[in-house]
Amino acid sequence: MEWFKRVTPGLEPQTKRELPDGLWIKCDNCGEILYKKELDRNLQVCTKCAFHFRMNSDQYIQLLADEDSFVEFNRHILPADPLKFKDTKKYSDRLRDAAAKTGLEEAVRTGRCQLSGMPIILVAMDFRFIGGSMGSVVGEKISRATDIAIQEQKPLVIISASGGARMQEGALSLMQMAKTSAKLALLSDAKLPYISILTDPTTGGVTASFSMLGDIILAEPGALIGFAGPRVIKQTIGQDLPEGFQRSEFLLTHGFVDVIVHRAEMKNHVAQILSYFAQPAAPGKKIRTAPKPRTAAVPVAKSAKSRTAAKGKKTRSTTERSPRENSADE
Amino acid sequence: MANFVLDFEKPILEIERRIAELREFSNSEDMELHKEIERLETKAQKLRLEVYSKLTRWQRVQLARHPNRPYTLDYIDNMMTDFIELHGDRAFGDDPAIVAGIGKIDGIPVTLIGHQKARDTREKIRRNFGMPHPEGYRKALRVMRLAARFNRPIICLIDTPGAYPGLGAEERGQAEAIARNLFEMAHLPVPIIIVIIGEGASGGALGIGVGDRILMMENTWFSVITPEGCAAILYRNSANAPQAAEAMRVTPPDLLELKVIDRILPEPPGGAHNDHVAAAHIVKKAILDELAQLGQLKGEELVLQRVAKYAQMGVWSE
Ligand SMILES: [Zn+2]
C-alpha cells in the first residue's frame, strides 16, 4: 500500500515551494509543478505522485468535521513560561512569535463536532506552532478533551502532528506524557473508543504517549512516525538509515499501525470505524452485557490548588472546573 | 571500583588523603599529630558542606553520572532479601538494561524494577549503558501486572540516559512500549513508588516512572531530554550542556518546586557513591515510610489519586 516514495528526509520543515507568481507550487517529492488551486482542491495531495503535503489544524478540522459543526473549547488555556527559559532566544518570545505567525494560542485545538452526523470530541495538533511540541497547555487541553469525552460519552479522535515534548518546559513537558496517557486509561475503562490519526511528523514524547494508544491507529501515507528522530538514530548507530525507515508503511509492516489511509478517504474510514463501535449489539442474538463504565465521572483532586504562573497570572488546574465550565468560552 | 574523581571533589579528597597518610604514620602518643588530624577532619567536613551546598545544576548532573554511584543491583543487594530476577518479555527477548524481579524489603514482598548501568566496559555494553529497548519496557510491564494480580507493591528505580535510539528499537516499537507502560501504570491498583537514583532522561525514564510517589535522591537529575540533547538542538552544540541543564532546571529542588516530585532523599556525606550501604538504607527507609501510607488505600482509591496527581502537573494560565 505505497502510493509513493517520499524523498524528503527527516523532520526538516516541509517547504511548499511556491513559485514567484504565487499560483504554482513545486512538489517536494516528484518535482511536478502544481497549480495551487488544484492542490487545494485535492486536499494538499500531489495530483501526480500522491505525496501528502502537511496540513494545519484548520485544514484537518475541515477534513473531518461536518460543515460548520466544529465548536472549539478551552481556547483560553494559554502557555506560561514556568522555567523562565532562555536559550538563544527567550521562550516567552518564541511563544509570542509563534502566536503572531500562526494566529494560534498553542499547538493543539480541541472541540466538539459532528463527523458524518456522529458527535465526537476532536483534537487537532498544529505543527506550525513550535513544531507541534507538547508542553503544559497541549497536555492540559488533551486531558480536558478526554475528560469531556468521558463525561459526554463520546468517542475521541486525535490528529497528531508533533516533533515531541517541548524542551522549554523541561520535566513539566515530560509529565504531560504521563498525564494524557492516564486520562486515556480512564477513557478506556469507560469503554469509549479512541481513534488516533498519525500525520507527518509524529515523533518523540507525543508518539510515546497518546499517539500510540489509539484503540485504532490510522496513519497518512508516508508520514514520519517514530520515537527517536532520524538524525539522532543516525548519529547513534553511525550508519545511514534504510529507505522508508520510520515511515507509515514501515510501522504498518512492523505491526504498529492498523491502516494507512489516503487523506481523501480519511473521513469515511473514521466514520465507518466509529459507526462500528457505536452500533448496538445485533438484535436477536443474546450478548452478554458489558459491565457499566466504572468511571463515568471524572475524579476530582481534592488537593488541586491554583498556581501562579509567570507574570503572576492566576492559573488553575483542570479539576477545579466542570467540563460545562470548560466549554464556557465557546 | 576504579578511582574516579570529579573536579569539584578534588580538594576534599586531597585533605582526606592527607588525613589517611598522617594516620598511617602516627603512633598513638603523638598528640601533635592527633591535633593535626582533627583539624584536617574539621576542615574536610566544612569544605564538603560548602561544596555540596552550592553545587551547580551541571555538577549535580555529573554526580548523578558518577561511575561509582550505586546502581539498581547495588540497591537490591543492600536493601532486599530473597530477590529473584525475572527475565524476558515473553515475546522477543530479555533486555539487560532493565532489571525486574521479586523479593522482600524488611519482610514485605515487593516487585522491584530498575534501569541497570554497569562499571566495566564489557558489562556496560551488555547493559547498553542503561538504555532500554522495547522488550525491557514490556518485561517491566509483564512483571508489574503480575504484582498487581497478587496485590504486591511495585518499586521502580530510575537511572537512564534515555531509551535507546536505534534501528531495532524503532522496528519493535519503542514509542508504543513506553506509551503502553504509561497507560497501564496509571491504573494498576497497587502502590507504585518511583525513586530516581541517578539519571532520569525523557520517555526512557518515564516508561517505568509513573507512580503514586516520586522520590529523588539528592544528587540526581530528571528532565524531558539530556542536557546534551537539549543543547544540541537549541544551541546547535552539545558543549552547551551546562547551560541547558540550568535552563531546563533539572535538579531535585527545581522539580520539588515545580511539583513534579514529592520528596528529596538526602545522600550520605559526599554523595551516594561514597557509601552504597548508607545510600541503600536511606532509600529503604523512604520506601517503607511511603508503603505504610499507601498501604492504607484501596486499589481504586490509589488509581483515582494517581490519575489526579498527574492531572495537576503542568503550569499554564487561564
Ligand atoms: Zn508529487
For B314, the closest chain A residue by CA position comes to A136
Q: Are residues B228 and B98 in the same domain?
A: yes
At B33 the pLDDT is: 83
Min Cα distance A20 → chain B (Å) is 32
- Rounded distance from Cα A33 to ligand 1 centre (Å): 8
Complex ipTM above 0.85?
Answer: yes
* Percentage with pLDDT > 70 across chain B: 98
CA–CA separation, B269 and B283 (whole Å): 15
**Torsion, Cα of A208, A209, A214, A215 (10° steps):** 100
**A154, A182: one domain:** yes
Lowest-confidence region among A272-286, B169-183, B289-303: A272-286
Question: Environment class of residue A312 by beta-carbon count within 10 Å: exposed (0-12), middle (13-18) or buried (19+)?
Answer: exposed
pLDDT band at B31 (very low <50, low <70, confident <90, very high): confident
A322 plus A301 within the same structural domain: yes
Could you give the CA distance from residue A57 to residue A211 in angstroms, rounded to a whole number? 16
B176 is a domain residue: yes
Please check whether residues A176 and A302 belong to one and the same domain: no
Predicted pLDDT of residue A18 = 74
Are residues A211 and A313 located together in one domain of the fold?
Answer: no
Residue A67 structural domain: 54-278
Q: What is the pLDDT of residues B58-107, one digit of tens each?
A: 999 999 999 999 999 999 999 999 999 999 999 999 999 999 999 999 99
What residues make up the domain containing B119?
61-311
Q: Which residues of chain A have pLDDT under 70?
A: 1-17, 279-330
pTM of the predicted model, to two decimals? 0.89
Residue A308: the pLDDT is 40
Same domain, residue pair B136 and B276: yes
Say whether pLDDT at B316 is over 70: yes
Angstroms from B240 CA to nearest CA on chain A: 10
Q: Is B206 within 8 Å of A174 (Cβ atoms)? A: yes
Q: Are residues B33 and B111 in the same domain?
A: no
Q: How many helices (H) and strands (E) does chain B have?
A: 14, 9
Q: How high is the pLDDT of residue B249?
A: 98
The pLDDT value recorded for residue A329 is 36
Lowest mean pLDDT among A6-15, A290-299, B21-30, B200-209: A290-299
Give me the number of domains chain A comprises: 2
CA angle at residue B93 from A258 to A213, to 5 degrees?
Answer: 30
Distance CA A175, CA B206 (A): 8
Which set of grid coordinates corresponds to residue B80? Answer: 532486599
Query: β-strands A108-115, A118-125: how paired?
Result: antiparallel
**pLDDT for position A22:** 78
Q: How far is the CA of A32 from the centre of ligand 1 (A)?
A: 6
Considering chain B, what is the average pLDDT of its residues?
Answer: 95
Structural domains of chain B, count: 2
* The pLDDT value given to residue A322: 39
Q: How far is the CA of A52 from the centre of ligand 1 (A)?
A: 8
Q: Best interface-test mutation with B: which of A181, A257, A298, A319 has the largest number of B CBs within 10 A?
A: A181
Q: Specify if A249 maps to a domain.
A: yes
- Residue A28 is predicted with a pLDDT of 86
Same domain, A118 and A147: yes
In the predicted structure, residue B302 carries a pLDDT above the cut 50: yes
| Domain boundary pick from A240, A258, A278 | A278
CATH number, domain with residue A229: 3.90.226.10
In a domain, B318, yes or no: no
> Tens digit of pLDDT for each residue in A56-78?
999 999 999 999 999 999 999 99
Q: Which residues make Cβ contacts (< 8 Å) with residue B2, sequence separation at least 6?
A: B67, B68, B119
Nearest alpha carbon to residue A123 among A98, A94, A155? A155
